[in-house]
Structure formats: structure tokens, C-alpha cells
A and B are shown apart, each in its own frame.
Chain A
Amino acid sequence: MVLIGPSGCGKTTTLRMINRLIEPTSGRIEIQGEDVTDLPATDLRRGIGYVIQQVGLFPHRTIEANIATVPRTLGWDRSRIRARVEELVEVVGIDREMLARYPDELSGGQQQRVGVARALAADPPVLLMDEPFGAVDPIVRGRLQDELLELQARVHKTIVLVTHDLDEAIKIADKIVLLNVGGALEQYASPDELLREPANAFVESFVGDDRSMRRLTLATVGDLPYERGPVVPIDTPPADARAVLADQRSEWLGVTDGEAFLGWIEGAEVKDGVHLDDLHRFLPAAQVEPSSTLRNAMEVIMNSRTSVAVINDHGRFCGVVTLERIRAGLDSDLSATPEPAG
């Protein structure tokens, strides 16, 4: 789940109320059915992972000791802590030899990974992340976001993440909570729903004019319904092929041999008495995979002569995708979000 909104909307405050760094004045916050104010604050916090933008690693402790902070506080024995640290090193992808180093010797991205490892150390069911990737450069940020998604696919935590970056929210959220100044809840929805059906004018302006473009990055070619397009098997009689061309109002005819796509033939050349196999074929320049995003597909189509991209899943023809098809897709519910997270 991702909390997003302009400055002063209370997204960080909301997050800090969950682990009671800020005490709620009214209302209830429950974790697994238990009110967070039922436990002593320190006990509660040991059961909740916490990652902040500035990481806040302890400069006087080695990476290993930093990761072991909560297990040590909980009184785990040495060998158990050691084993857990080894495990986490793998999970967050840091070099084992860094364990003996001090935080100042690491890059920002590495420090943030250690911060995540430290938050996961005692295997808490809930992870709170306050702009965890805000302080690293965009390239590292993108990589850390991908890693978070992979990590989440493995560890299955309830992650509450605060960000002000809409692209980040769309990329990693299962559900987005959009807050307005003063803490007003504007919309609670999946990324696709937020972009497709903004609840009100504020949400609409927040997600921006390019929300359709943003949605294109959410859905993949595989999410679209199957469309064969003006494509026929190579042994189709020319008369039937012309019928397909007329039906599809296409100037190009695609030919397949079994599962393989062979290429495009100019529609005007399809004549009676000439076998399709004898005509000149243009190899398909525009190809996408089922896992390509719609945005990616659109770019490919824009650059092709045929205005249509062939879906090629490791040599297997899976239909075609056109601009009309993408536009139609945007009108429907493409709620198939990428991997689950936040």
C-alpha cells in the first residue's frame, strides 16, 4: 500500500502513527486485529520494520551489527543472529564482505539496502517505509524499486510506503491512498483505477493530464484480448486471403507457418493464381512480447510501416496489437497490476 499526496497532507504522520512515533489522538490503528496502543511502544516497534529516507544507520556500528540491532534487542542468541544476518545479506543483495565495514564506507544505494535488511531483521509482518528511495539517484532508485517488488514477491509483508512520486506509487502499489493537505482522504484505489477513474477534480489534477500514458506503463500486451489481425496461414488460397484483407481493411497481410510468423506481404500483390509463398515478404520489424508494456508496444507501432505489432512469445505467434486495440484497452478495466507490493 502506498501513501501519496502533496507536502503537508499527513502521509508521514500517518505512517509514524502506525508505530506510534506520533501518538494518535483519536481513532484506532489495528495490526492483525490488535490495537497498536495496547502494547508498550517499544515492543510494538520491534515488531514493525521501519525504513526512512535518510536510512539512519548507526555510524559507529558495522553493517553486521546494524542489521542485528532488533534481534539483539530481542535477546536472540549469537548463532541465530549470525544466521539471520547471512540470510538477509542474500535477500537484499549486499556483498558479504561489507558486513565488517562501517556505514560511511558504503554508497547511498548500498546503505539503503542495509536499511531494508535491518528493518526485516526480526521478520516483522509489517514494514513501514518513509520515502525510502528519495535520497538516491534516479537510476539506483529504479533498481531499488524493482528489487523491492522482487523482495515483496518472496517475503509477502504488509508494506506501507510513503512517497511523493506518483510514478513510484504506480509502479509498486497494490493500493494507493491519495491524501490531500490537512489529511483529507481523496481516493483509495488500485493504481489503474486511480488513473482510469479519478474520484474528483483534485485526484484528476494530481495524476495529471498524462494519466492515460501512465496507465500504458501499468498494463502489458498480454492483458489485451487476443486479436489475430490480418494474418493467415501461408497456404491460404489468395481469394480467401483477399477476403481477410477486405474484412480487416488492411493493406498488409501477415503470413504464418504453424506457430511461426513469417512476415508481411503487400495486400495489393495478393492475386488469384499466385501462391502466397511466392510473394515478397517483409520481415516483421515491429515485434513485442506478451510481457511488454502497452507504452512500449505503442512506441514500436509508431515506428513501424504496418501500424501493427506482432506479438512474439519466443518464436510463437500470439496475435497482433494495434493502436485501436490499445485505445480500446484503456477504456476497459486493466486492473491486472504488475507484481504485488506496498
Chain B
Amino acid sequence: MVLATGAANPLLRWSYFVEQWDRIEEAIFQHVQLTLLAVAFGFVISAALAFLGMRYRWTITPITLFAAFLYTIPSVAFFGVLVSYLGLTLLTALIPLTAFTILILVTNILDGFSSVPASVREAADGMGLTPAQRLFTVEVPIAVPYIINGLRIATVTTVGLVTVAAIVGYGGLGRLILDGLRRTFWTPLTIGASLSILLALLFDLLFYALGAWLTPWARRRQAP
């Protein structure tokens, strides 16, 4: 691979934005779509697993072990194995991406619920809240900072992993990176890489703002 950058092949050729804007736009759209879908599915699965874990405490260890196992699978291998079963489909890209979010989300959701003080639970019961009222009006709100934090980490991680999914044809900005590498043409590579970093930062900020907005009580705690 030739690493030299010269006048013919600069790191970034600005005209590329104009010439290939459709391609870039599509890549961004797909990147966001894959990220959000993976995190959304991951969240639904993780929430279900977390509730299972809270209902039957003994399941927490197997759930965490399984999630950790999924997390340790090398991403390239995971995508590769699925291609042989599902072909180059959206599902092939989505399954590993979703699987990788579960460990982060499950542990954060569980942490959130165990952060609810026993005295708060007892007070809720003692005041005659039903189990559903206790869950949705007391426990979930108290767990929100942890849940948001989990979503934040999971989303930022997924933005990075989506680029790897380019190897199965669904990579969003990753496809630009892959294209640049294949053709030793730096411009798409630079664009793909910087835009995915930007996207990760954007999501990070978004979740931070969401968390602050949802939990005014957690912010004031620091300034008594």
C-alpha cells in the first residue's frame, strides 16, 4: 500500500463533497439508522433481561456471563460467520451490532435498579403503591441516570462498530473508509473516519443533554 500523499492524492479533496454528496449522505443516513436500530433492539432485549434478572436474582450471573461472551466475539469474525448463514443482508449487520450493546446496557440497567435505596422501596410499599406504580413512578426514574449512561456508551461504541459492518456491505460511513483503503484514495477514507467521529461526539452530547434534562434532581445533588 502506498502511503504517500501527494498533489494527486491529498488527504482530503474538497470537491469530493460536491461530486459524491449523494453517496456521503446515504452513508450518514445508513450509519445513523444502523446505530439507532442496533441500540433500540439492544435496549429492548436488555430491558427484558434486566427485568428477568430482578425478578429471579439467580439469573443475573448467567445473563451477565452470556452478554460478556457475546461482547468478546471479535466483530469481524461475528459478521463473517453470519454471512455464511444470512448472506449480505441488513440482518447480518444488525445482529452483531445489537449483541455488542447488550453487555453495556444490561449492566447499566441493573446498576440503575440496584441504586434504588431499600428504604425508598420500603416507603413506596408502605404507602400502598402497587408493584407497577412502584416500578414506573419510583424505580425507573431513579434508575434513569444509569440507563441514559448505558445508552450513551452503547451508542458511541456502536457508531464505531458500524464502520466494521462495511465488510458485509452495510457499513454506513465505514463503506467510504473501506473504499478509500481499497483504492488507496485518501479522500473518502478521511471523510468516512472524521464523520463517524463527529457522529459519535454528537450522540454523546445528545444523550448527555437528555440525561440532564430528565434528571434535574441528580444534578442539584452536587450543589447542596
A binding-site residues for B, Cβ under 8 Å: 19, 21, 41-48, 50, 52-62, 69-70, 73, 101-102, 104-105, 115, 118, 128
Contact = CB atoms under 8 A, between A and B. Distances in A.
Contacts of B129: 42, 69, 73
Interface string B120-151: 11111111111001000010011010000000
B217 interface: yes
A103 to B, nearest CB: 8
Contact of A44 (B123, B128, B217, B218): B128
A102 B220 contact: yes
Contact of A56 (B122, B215, B217, B218): B122
A125 to B, nearest CB: 15
Contact of A46 (B128, B142, B218): B128
A280 B117 CA distance: 70
B133 A102 contact: no
A47 B127 CA distance: 8
Contact of B123 (A43, A48, A55): A55
B224 interface: yes
A58 B143 CA distance: 12
Nearest to A104: B221
B119 interface: yes
B221 A19 contact: no
Given A45-B128, A104-B217, A104-B220, 20 more contacts: A21-B125, A42-B129, A52-B126, A53-B119, A56-B119, A56-B120, A56-B126, A57-B123, A58-B120, A58-B123, A58-B124, A58-B138, A59-B142, A59-B221, A60-B142, A60-B144, A69-B129, A73-B127, A73-B128, A105-B224
Given A45-B126, A118-B127, A59 B133 contact: no
A50 B133 contact: no
B132 to A, nearest CB: 11
A283 B81 CA distance: 104
A118 B142 CA distance: 19
B121 to A, nearest CB: 8
**What class of interface size applies to chain B in its complex with A?**
20 to 34
Contact of B224 (A50, A58, A104): A104
Interface SS, B side: helix
Contacts of A101: 220
Most B CB within 10 A of own CB, among A50, A53, A56, A60: A60
Interface in B139-192: 141-142, 144
A270 B54 CA distance: 88
A156 to B, nearest CB: 21
A43 B119 contact: no
Contacts of B130: 42
Contacts of A43: 128
Given A44-B128, A50-B127, A102-B220, A73 B133 contact: yes
Contacts of A46: 127-128
Contacts of A69: 127, 129
A50 B142 CA distance: 21
Contacts of A21: 122, 125-126
Of A19, A52, A59, which is in contact with the most chain B CB atoms at under 10 Å from its CB? A59
Contacts of B220: 101-102, 104-105
Contacts of A41: 128
B141 to A, nearest CB: 4
Which of B118, B121, B130, B217 lies at the interface centre, i.e. has the most chain A CB atoms within 10 A of its CB?
A: B217
A19 B126 contact: yes
A50 B117 CA distance: 17
B83 to A, nearest CB: 46
A52 B142 contact: no
